Each structure stands twice: as C-alpha cells, then as structure tokens.
C-alpha cells in the first residue's frame, strides 16, 4: 500500500459508489453488503473484491473480521425507515436497525484500540427529524460516548449532477484540526434545527464542519440521455395515459413548453378525500430523486416536447447510473430491476469525492512528529 493512501471500511457498500467517490488515494480494507444483487455488482467492478468483500448480514460480523485499523469507516445504512416512504420507523425499524449492527463493530474496534479516526454515516434527510429528532440525538450520543466529535451536512447531489437527491452526511472525527470548522452552505435549516434539539451533553460534541460549495453544476438532464434510437419509447396511447395522470398545474407546465426535456415521476396525492396517482413533470434540467424499484416512487419517465409533439419513455438503467455519477465503464446488472436497484440505492459519486477532497482528507493530513518530520500512520 502506498504511504500516501488512506484506508477505509465500507459498510452497506452496495455497488461500491462510496469507494469510487473516495478515489485512488484510498484503499478499501473491508467492504460488506447483505444484498446479493449489489454484492454481484461490487464483485464485477472491483478486481480485488475477493480480498476484502464480505457478503452477508452485518450482524454476523465480528471485529476480528476487520483487518488493521482503518482511517475511515463509511456507512450508508439502509434508509427506508428514515424516509417518508418507509413509515418513519426510525432507528427501531427493522431495516435501519442494521445501523446498530455496524455500530457494535465500531464499539468493539474501539475496545481493542482500533477505532477509525473518521466515521461517515450517510442517509436520507429524514434522519435529522425521525421521531422528533430523538433518533438523531441517539446517534450523536453514541458517537460522543466513544470520543468522537460530530457534525452534519445536508448535500443535494443537484449541486454536481442533474438529479435532485438531498442526503445528510454525519461526519465524526476523533481529532478536529484547526481551520476545518466554520460556515457552510450545507448547514441547512434542517441541520441547524437538528443541532438545536440536541441535549446539552451531546451538543457539546458538535462540530460545524466547514465545507465550501462546489463550482456551479453545468450538466443538464438532457446531457445524460441515451440516443433516441437506443431506447424504447412509449406508444402514443401510453404517452396519452401519462399526460392524463397530470393535474392542471403540471399539464399546463408541459403544454407551455415549445421544446424541452423533462423528468416525470408518479406520486400518490390526496384529493377530495381520496388517494389518486398523479404524474408530475419538471423542466429545470434535473431528474427527481432516483429510487429503487421497490421504493416509494415508481420508475421515472422522460418526456420530450418539440413543437407541440410529446414523446415519453422510461428512464434507462444506464441513464440512472449516469445520474449517480457512475462512468459508462461501470458494469451494471443485466436486468433492469437489478441495475435500477444498484443505482437507486447508492450514494452520488461526485458528492463523495467533494466531501473527501474538501473535508475528509484534510482531517487525515499527516501530523508532525516530535522531530518535525511528517508522521504518516499506516493501517494495521
């Protein structure tokens, strides 16, 4: 391993998007996921997977399964119970309780003197408000009890990619170097409210991480789309049915366009005391938040308007991958459902890269030893 390389563990790794975002300056010492489809995608894309990837339940792992002492433990734990679509069961929910399987490993590593210097927990923004903030407070208390200082950043992938995908990143560190705290555009109202609701003893461990905004996004949804001839388009009847699902506002929005590409997603709305399905369209250059096939929203569609003519189709797996920042060289599962599952359950690659470059790597910068020389700690 290069002396300049940082090491990390990736829990709930999915198809390895956090690994891709961290980049070549990081070495994966251990990765884990329970889902067979995602595990297969990880193995297909990383030649060294056999050396460090473990498929199975995080609760079945022990500290001895984790090699060395990593600089970072990354956990994109299952988010369904923190989302509006998942019933907001919070940390007590069956899926999100996987977080505690991860956390008991961190506690065991700490007991053995091998705790990571950094922990990043990525989840939906509902983590900040689940159970009136009690779940977030419990998470903060757990981190603080093990000597970590922590703070949260709400980052929307739309700052870097043509997809609206807000996520919260809880960054916890044993040491907070000077110069890495201060204001950030990612200290959103939700983050500030979550901090304000913390008990005093937990709030004492809070860090207002300084993270600058990236350069303005210059990629439009249209730029990630496949050529027309490479995708299957809806029939005129299917397109008409999609338009019929639009309420007056969205239908007027579409009819006002002379030309444009929009994203359409379906939602259940309560109208006149009954639940109806509605199609909603946006022409702001962004797709809506990608979901897994079993998530709370159906697969998104694309509409193309040109001089009054409207065509529509479903978003393709490769387009979904591009909306997550995956390169076209990334090997997707062969089935559409599998590919959309890997993409929709992942973390946006450019967001991880920005977070790593602007915050995580500076936190881990080598320090000077007693003789004024750079001291570089290596895992293991």
pLDDT tens across the length of the chain (380 residues): 344 589 999 999 999 999 999 999 999 999 999 999 999 999 999 999 999 999 999 989 999 999 999 999 999 987 654 443 334 444 555 544 778 889 999 999 999 999 999 999 999 999 999 888 988 998 999 999 999 999 999 999 999 999 999 999 999 999 999 999 999 999 999 999 999 999 999 999 999 999 999 999 989 999 999 999 999 999 999 999 999 999 999 999 999 998 999 999 988 888 888 888 899 999 999 999 998 776 445 689 999 999 889 999 999 999 999 999 999 999 999 999 999 999 999 999 999 999 999 999 999 986 433 343 434 333 33
On whether the pTM is more than 0.85, the answer is yes
Domain ranges of the chain: 6-218+344-375, 227-315
Q: Tell me the C-alpha distance between 378 and 380, whole Å.
A: 6
Which superfamily does CATH assign the domain made up of 6-218+344-375 to?
Answer: Vaccinia Virus protein VP39 (3.40.50.150)
Question: For residue 366, what pLDDT is reported?
Answer: 61
Q: Is 34 helix (H, G, I), strand (E, B) or coil?
A: coil
Q: How far lies 329's CA from each of 28, 88, 276, 374, in Å?
A: 20, 36, 40, 38
Question: For residue 4, what pLDDT is reported?
Answer: 54
Strand stretches in the chain, DSSP E:
6-11, 26-33, 53-55, 72-75, 118-123, 149-156, 166-173, 259-271, 274-282, 301-306, 309-314, 367-368, 374-375
In angstroms, how far is CA 116 from the centroid of its own chain? Answer: 21
Q: By the 8 A CB rule, do 170 and 135 touch? A: no
Question: For residue 78, what pLDDT is reported?
Answer: 74
Q: Tell me the C-alpha distance between 376 and 374, whole Å.
A: 6
């Amino acid at each position: 391993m290069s002396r300049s390389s940082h090491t990390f563990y990736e829990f709930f790794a999915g198809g390895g998007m956090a690994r891709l975002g961290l980049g070549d300056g990081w070495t994966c010492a251990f990765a884990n996921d329970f889902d067979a489809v995602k595990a297969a995608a990880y193995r297909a894309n990383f030649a060294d997977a056999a050396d460090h990837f473990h498929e199975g339940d995080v609760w079945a792992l022990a500290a001895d399964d984790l090699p060395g002492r990593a600089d970072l433990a990354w956990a994109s734990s299952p988010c369904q119970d923190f989302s509006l679509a998942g019933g907001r069961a919070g940390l007590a929910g069956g899926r999100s309780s996987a977080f505690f399987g991860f956390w008991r490993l961190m506690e065991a590593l700490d007991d053995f003197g091998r705790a990571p210097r950094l922990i990043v927990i990525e989840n939906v923004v509902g983590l900040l408000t689940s159970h009136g903030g009690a779940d977030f407070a419990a998470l903060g208390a757990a981190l603080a009890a093990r000597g970590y200082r922590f703070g949260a950043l709400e980052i929307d992938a739309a700052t870097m990619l043509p997809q609206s995908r807000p996520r919260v990143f809880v960054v916890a560190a044993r040491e907070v170097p000077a110069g890495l705290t201060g204001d950030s555009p990612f200290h959103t109202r939700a983050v500030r409210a979550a901090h304000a609701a913390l008990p005093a003893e937990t709030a004492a461990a809070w860090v207002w991480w300084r993270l600058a905004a990236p350069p303005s996004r210059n990629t439009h949804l249209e730029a990630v789309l496949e050529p027309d001839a490479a995708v299957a388009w809806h029939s005129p009847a299917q397109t008409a049915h999609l338009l019929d699902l639009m309420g007056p506002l969205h239908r007027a929005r579409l009819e006002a366009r002379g030309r444009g590409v929009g994203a359409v997603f379906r939602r259940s709305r309560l109208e006149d005391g009954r639940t109806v399905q509605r199609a909603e369209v946006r022409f702001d250059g962004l797709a809506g938040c990608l979901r897994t096939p079993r998530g709370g929203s159906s697969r998104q569609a694309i509409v193309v308007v040109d001089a009054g003519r409207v065509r529509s189709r479903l978003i393709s797996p490769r387009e979904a991958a591009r909306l997550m920042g995956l390169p076209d060289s990334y090997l997707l599962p062969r089935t559409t459902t599998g590919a959309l599952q890997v993409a929709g359950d992942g973390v946006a690659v450019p967001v991880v890269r920005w977070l790593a470059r602007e915050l995580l790597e500076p936190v881990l910068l080598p320090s000077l030893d007693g003789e004024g020389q750079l001291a570089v700690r290596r895992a293991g």
